[in-house]
Amino acid sequence: MAVQQAGLNIFAGDPMLTEDHPTTGRVFWVGSTACEGGVAGSDSGGVGNSAYKPMATIDYAVGRCTANRGDRIKILPGHAETISTVGGLDLDVAGITIEFLGEGNVRGAITFGSVVGADMDVDAADITIINPRFVAGIDALTGPIDVNSARFKMTDATWQDGTTINTTDCLVADANADDMTIDGFEFIDGDAAGTQKQSFIQVAGATRPVIKNIKCTGDFGTGNIENGTAWVDAYLENLALDNANASPTVCIALQPTSSGWIKDSSLRVASGTTYLTANNDMQFDNVKGTGTDATATEEVGTQLAGGLEAKIDVIDGYHDVPSTDGTTDAVIRDVVGAKADTTTQTIATNASLMRYVKGILNAVAGAAGLAAYPDPASPANAVNIAEVLSATYYEAVGGGGLNAASVNLISASADFGAAAWSGVEASHTVFTISGLVHARMLAYCTSGLTATAGANLMFGVSGNSSALILSTSASGLVLNDLWLTVNTSTNHAYSSMIDRLLSNRSVGYFLTGAPVTAGTIKFLAFWEPISTGSTLTAGTGTALT
């Protein structure tokens, strides 16, 4: 049995004393009801030295302590104490520890009631409370746990609201609560039918507060944790906060200059993705949030690239379709472009693939085609396909030196049923040339000639009647014959057309020997100017000049 004096030394050997928190100070016992073999507590002299004869109130026990001696107050299971006034429990002796024995609701409890300002004031430094249970006895309590001094520590605590009872702010710490530690604090909601709650833990302006292992679910108008005035270098860890406020309201309300760390925590808001006040100076490590039931959480933090989920969002954004063609070359969406972009693109340094694809289709199959068709070129290095196509076209239509970009096609039809085209022993102009031109010419019969025996045709130029084709029997020209030489041919001809450089003269045929009374020959000229202003025009059958 311990020495019978108030404030036993923990090393005196009392079997009721725990050994996990040894101290050189005194140990005092508080219990409103008797433990087995003991009596109910009373606040009078000669009590508190053992669990069998405890004091009745915590406030009385605090008054028996000596500052910074290491004194401990042990609260027996089943103890009940009600705080009914402002400052009704004043922890004003520095360096004391108050420990509630037992587990769950077997622990002793402090109930706050009568007035909304009823509170427990922590008014001295280095006070520790272990395993306490706090109960709200009335609605709208305003800061019943009031911390006003440095290095306050509370571990393994619970707070219980009740039916039609909501506590406005459970724990309130002011700027004097530097180095405060709250380690293990659970909020147990009532029916949430009382006055609107504002916060569970409220800290204003303290330096280096530590808040960890917090479990809190409820409807809070400001936030489960509220930093009203910016704290400095706070440390928050292992928070499980769920704010059911429908606004929605954040789980952690911060200030722009609130600094410190939040680690390994989960935040739930009623909807959306604003889990804490965005404008702050906090750092985040493995903090997750959600605003939807039955969903995985997402990374929380003010830095966009601060986590894997955020990086995925950035990558996904780079693959979104741009609204217009971008001039940057930084992300794949700008390189690819938008399907709705109707602009066709020529070669440039900052256009999208979509514009180039539409430019190619427009050139190959569109109505506009190529804006400027290139000069012909044979297949070779550094020659584009349009240049090769130009050369192929030129060969097909009689190239041999014609420039497809400037070649012209002129036709003239000689109708031998008309007087202008059928005069015997006369010349008939098919083409008139001014200046110097390069021309490739052919003639074919679109209607077989009706010729009297002895009728002959020659094809030449003014001054030389057979310069191009020698005398040919007119009766031999039947439908679809090609007339390129004296030997007419149906549907095929020599590989070369009549190819000449011609200057300031007329081209036409001569009819000799006998009349041709019907039929038509069509003359074609593929030509290009050689001298500036040169022309080749269709004749009307008049005499060559």
* Structural domain spans, the chain: 1-76, 79-280, 303-369, 372-399, 408-538
Q: Which residue has the higher pLDDT, 154 or 279?
A: 154
Residues 311-340 have a mean pLDDT of 67
**What pLDDT is recorded for position 486?**
86
Query: Each residue of 441-489: pLDDT tens digit?
Result: 999 999 999 999 999 999 999 999 999 999 999 998 999 899 988 887 7
Asked whether residue 134 carries a pLDDT value surpassing 80, the answer given is yes
pLDDT-based confidence at residue 390 (cuts at 50, 70, 90): low
Question: Pick from 366, 328, 370: which is nearest to 347 by CA?
Answer: 370
Residues 145-153 have a mean pLDDT of 98
pLDDT-based confidence at residue 251 (cuts at 50, 70, 90): very high
Asked whether residue 539 carries a pLDDT value surpassing 70, the answer given is yes
**What pLDDT is recorded for position 398?**
47
pLDDT more than 90, % of the chain: 69
pLDDT-based confidence at residue 293 (cuts at 50, 70, 90): confident
pLDDT-based confidence at residue 5 (cuts at 50, 70, 90): very low
Q: Among 58-72, 277-291, 342-356, name the one with the lowest average pLDDT.
A: 342-356
**What pLDDT is recorded for position 490?**
60
Question: Pick from 207, 265, 257: which is nearest to 233 by CA?
Answer: 207
Cis peptide bond upstream of 256, omega within 30: no
Residues 252-265 have a mean pLDDT of 97
**What pLDDT is recorded for position 11?**
42
**What pLDDT is recorded for position 451?**
93
**What pLDDT is recorded for position 376?**
63
Query: Each residue of 159-191: pLDDT tens digit?
Result: 999 999 999 999 999 999 999 999 999 999 999
**What pLDDT is recorded for position 160?**
98
Q: Among 202-206, 331-335, 369-373, 401-405, name the one with the lowest average pLDDT.
A: 401-405
Yes or no: say if 212 and 182 are a contact pair by the CB < 8 Å rule.
yes
pLDDT-based confidence at residue 337 (cuts at 50, 70, 90): confident
Residues 11-15 have a mean pLDDT of 42
Q: Which residues of 368-380 are buried (b: 16+ CB within 10 A; e: fewer)?
A: eeeeeebebeeee
Sign of CA dihedral 357, 359, 365, 370: negative
Asked whether residue 314 carries a pLDDT value surpassing 70, the answer given is no
Question: In the 8-state DSSP scheme, what is residue 165?
Answer: B
Question: In the 8-state DSSP scheme, what is residue 232?
Answer: B
Q: What is the rounded distance in angstroms from the CA atom of residue 435 to the CA atom of residue 502?
A: 8
Q: Among 98-107, 171-180, 290-299, 401-410, name the one with the lowest average pLDDT.
A: 401-410
pLDDT-based confidence at residue 13 (cuts at 50, 70, 90): very low
Instruction: Count how many Cα atoms sit within 13 Å of the Cα of residue 350 in the half-sphere of its side chain.
Output: 7
Query: Each residue of 502-536: pLDDT tens digit?
Result: 999 999 999 999 999 999 999 999 999 999 999 99
Query: Each residue of 216-229: pLDDT tens digit?
Result: 999 999 999 999 99
Q: What is the dihedral of CA 22, 94, 159, 112, to 10 degrees?
A: 130
Degrees to nearest 5, angle at CA 304 with 300 and 308 = 65
Q: Among 116-125, 354-363, 424-433, 459-468, name the one with the lowest average pLDDT.
A: 354-363
Determine phi and psi for 63, rounding to 5 degrees.
Answer: -65, -20
303, amino acid identity: Q
- 473: which 2 tokens? 């029997």
91 burial via Cβ count (<10 Å: 0-12, 13-18, 19+)? buried
Asked whether residue 21 carries a pLDDT value surpassing 70, the answer given is no
Within 10 angstroms of residue 334's Cβ, the number of other Cβ atoms is: 19
Q: What is the rounded distance in angstroms from the CA atom of residue 381 to the CA atom of residue 535?
A: 35
Yes or no: say if 59 and 90 are a contact pair by the CB < 8 Å rule.
yes
pLDDT-based confidence at residue 343 (cuts at 50, 70, 90): confident
**What pLDDT is recorded for position 367?**
65
Within 10 angstroms of residue 512's Cβ, the number of other Cβ atoms is: 17
Average pLDDT, the chain: 87
Q: Which residue has the higher pLDDT, 225 or 406?
A: 225
Q: Which residues contact 254 (CB under 8 A, 6 or more apart)?
A: 227, 230, 276, 277, 279, 280, 282
Q: Indicate the pTM of the whole model.
A: 0.59
**What pLDDT is recorded for position 206?**
97
Q: What is the rounded distance in angstroms from the CA atom of residue 108 to the CA atom of residue 130?
A: 11
* Region of residue 425 (left: phi > 0; alpha: psi -120 to 50; beta: else): left
- 517: which 2 tokens? 């009374």
Q: Which residue has the higher pLDDT, 328 or 436?
A: 436
Q: Which residues contact 292 (CB under 8 A, 6 or more apart)?
A: 271
Instruction: Point out which residues pair with 220 in neighbouring strands.
Output: 197
